[in-house]
Amino acid sequence: MEIKIENYDVELIMLDRYEHLSFLLSNSYCVACKDMTTVINYTPYLNRLNDIIFKGFCINCGGPANRYVEIGENPESAEVAKHIKNVLQISKKKKK
């Protein structure tokens, strides 16, 4: 299960790694181009393992391109990710 998060959530989860985000996004792989690319117009998601997936588009060909950033292995970041997930799930239930 993947949950859509906001850019400020990404900043909270990544902690001091957030400053490397633009570097990470510009070092992504495009399956269509078979080359390194930059992911643009992305939406961040949290997955089951509390890692962040940036789902966006390749700057070169415009096709879909994802950047996976491992978060779950950092205990401090994983705690924040779990907390944000809980809050989002609670607010979703309330909307129903």
Single residue of 14, 58, 81, 84 touching Zn ion by CB under 5 A: 58
**Shortest Cβ 6–Zn ion spacing (Å):** 26
Site for Zn ion, residues 67 to 96, rule: CB under 5 A: none
Identify which of 88, 36, 94, 92 has the alpha carbon closest to the alpha carbon of residue 65.
36
Residues touching Zn ion: how many (CB under 5 A)? Answer: 6
30 is a contact residue toward Zn ion (CB under 5 A): yes
Query: Which part of the chain contacts Zn ion (CB under 5 A), choosing from 9-17, 40-48, 61-69, 77-85?
Result: 61-69
**Which residues are within 8 A (CB) of 40 and not within 5 positions of it... i.e. 6 or more apart?**
25, 56, 57, 58, 59
Dihedral in degrees, nearest 10, Cα atoms 63, 68, 69, 70: 180
User: Residue 78: helix, strand or coil by DSSP?
Assistant: helix
Q: Which residues bind Zn ion (CB under 5 A)?
A: 30, 32-33, 58, 60-61
